[in-house]
Amino acid sequence: MAKRGAYAKGVVKREEILEAALEIVGRRGYRNASVREIADAVGLSPAGLLHYFGTKEQLFVEILRARDRRDTASDDELEFFDAFLAVVRHNPEVPGLVQLYTQLQAEAADPGHPARAYFLDRTEEVHAAARTAIAAGQREGRIRADLDPEWIIRAGHALADGLQNAWMLDPTIDMAADVEQFFALLKP
Amino acid sequence: MAKRGAYAKGVVKREEILEAALEIVGRRGYRNASVREIADAVGLSPAGLLHYFGTKEQLFVEILRARDRRDTASDDELEFFDAFLAVVRHNPEVPGLVQLYTQLQAEAADPGHPARAYFLDRTEEVHAAARTAIAAGQREGRIRADLDPEWIIRAGHALADGLQNAWMLDPTIDMAADVEQFFALLKP
């Protein structure tokens, strides 16, 4: 019982850390947000904080996972394409998370990096949801039936990722408007 | 005269270094290719090599510039869209350069990073060439006249960049085929 209590407390603390980290990284950026700053915000030492995650890299991967959980929860009632757009539309408000995502995505090219599993899992999940939505859209005549659904998925995903890179160099880019224009091209 | 001779020799050595670096990074990857390995290949010490570039970061930015010069030279007689596709088609043969590009692109989000100027310059150059090609395509009826040329440019660029990220996680992706399918969607 004591152990289960300690475990439950650990889960709660972990969530508290990720919540603070999401806010700090979103606002301050990946490179400017130190483990110490996140630790300070939740009353831990940096070593005490890393105890919950293992390494700094794993902490940052968990921040991305926590962000996805939050995005999914807030878009729960939206249709896939609208939920996708809602995330893209929200991104300019959390530049540090966009920076963290693109940075870890580049690092995930390294087979030994802890971000690799995250990006592979995320791709699988997002693509599965997209597959269902595109099949429905093609059946109901909202999406051109002659387009390969797998191409739509890869291209939509790549477009959104690539626009993040462009937006970090030129914040006047309206990522959501550009993704919407792509969706418009898919209509019959 | 002696000074000009030394300068010319410096330029030649710099080109020799970049040529060796392109080969080594393309084959071994950005993270596996050390300054020492590149230095060994051209008979210099690591410090002697960095003397030509300043810092390791600047060396890696110059490797990307050298690659662009090589790509531009080899695609000199191709029309813009074909040249663009030729670069995308060549990329799977140089995985280390794809990795270097995506890594430095993520780091270029940092205003103080030497890669920032490179990516801004490159975007401006590529977009200017694309603008001319798209205007001709729309005039001649090969590209839908109702599409905003600036959107086509941003979306095509973002798609190619995003596909690189996806390809690093899943090398079965045919980046060139996916870009070609995008071009096909632009036809009237």
Q: Classify the C-alpha dihedral B102-B106-B111-B112 as positive or negative.
A: negative
Confidence tier at B3 by pLDDT (50, 70, 90): low
CATH number at residue B153: 1.10.357.10
Query: 3-state DSSP call for residue B66?
Result: helix
For residue A163, how many C-alpha atoms fall within 13 Å in the half-sphere facing its CB?
A: 27
Q: Which residue of B has its CA nearest to A163?
A: B158
Please answer yes or no on whether A161 and B160 come within 8 Å at the CB atom: no
Contacts of A162 in chain B (CB under 8 A): 157-163, 165
Please answer yes or no on whether A103 and B120 come within 8 Å at the CB atom: no
Whether residue A39 contacts residue A45, with contact meaning beta carbons closer than 8 Å, is answered with yes
Does some domain include residue A73? yes
Query: 3-state DSSP call for residue B140?
Result: coil
Indicate if the pLDDT at residue B31 is higher than 80. Answer: no
Distance from CA of A75 to the nearest CA of B (A): 24
Which carries the bigger pLDDT value, residue B108 or residue A33? B108
Contacts of A105 in chain B (CB under 8 A): 102, 106, 165
Mean pLDDT across B154-164: 98
Contacts of A166 in chain B (CB under 8 A): 123, 154, 157-158, 161
In chain B, the number of structural domains is 1
Please answer yes or no on whether A103 and B107 come within 8 Å at the CB atom: yes
Whether residue B161 contacts residue B187, with contact meaning beta carbons closer than 8 Å, is answered with no
pLDDT at position B87: 92
Three-state SS string over chain A comes to CHHHHHHHHHHHHHHHHHHHHHHHHHHHCCCCCCHHHHHHHCCCCHHHHHCCCCCHHHHHHHHHHHHHHHHHHHCCCCCHHHHHHHHHHHHHHCHHHHHHHHHHHHHCCCCCCCHHHHHHHHHHHHHHHHHHHHHHHHHCCCCCCCCCHHHHHHHHHHHHHHHHHHHHHCCCCCHHHHHHHHHHHCCC
Does some domain include residue A175? yes
Whether residue A65 contacts residue A80, with contact meaning beta carbons closer than 8 Å, is answered with no
pLDDT at position A7: 75
For residue A109, how many C-alpha atoms fall within 13 Å in the half-sphere facing its CB?
A: 27
Contacts of A148 in chain B (CB under 8 A): 181
Does some domain include residue A158? yes
Closest by Cβ to B123, choosing from A99, A163, A169: A169
Residue with tokens 């979306």: B155
Domain ranges, residue B65: 2-185
Least confident of B23-27, B124-128, B141-145: B23-27
What is the distance between the alpha carbons of residues B126 and A58, in angstroms, rounded to a whole number?
37
Does some domain include residue A120? yes
Confidence tier at B1 by pLDDT (50, 70, 90): very low
Q: Which residue of A has its CA nearest to B161?
A: A162
A9-50 pLDDT, tens digit each: 788 889 999 999 999 988 887 777 888 999 999 999 999 999
pLDDT at position A1: 47
Indicate if the pLDDT at residue B2 is higher than 70. Answer: no
Q: What is the pLDDT along chain A (188 residues), one digit of tens a residue?
A: 455 677 777 888 899 999 999 999 888 877 778 889 999 999 999 999 999 999 988 999 999 999 988 887 776 667 899 999 999 999 999 888 999 999 999 999 888 899 999 999 999 999 999 999 999 999 999 999 999 999 999 999 999 999 999 999 999 999 999 999 999 999 99
**What are the residues of chain B with a beta carbon less than 8 Å away from any beta carbon of chain A?**
29, 31, 99, 102-103, 105-110, 116, 119-120, 123, 148, 151, 154-155, 157-163, 165-166, 168-170, 173, 178, 181-182, 185
Q: What is the ipTM of this complex?
A: 0.91
B32-70 pLDDT, tens digit each: 788 899 999 999 999 999 999 999 889 999 999 999 888
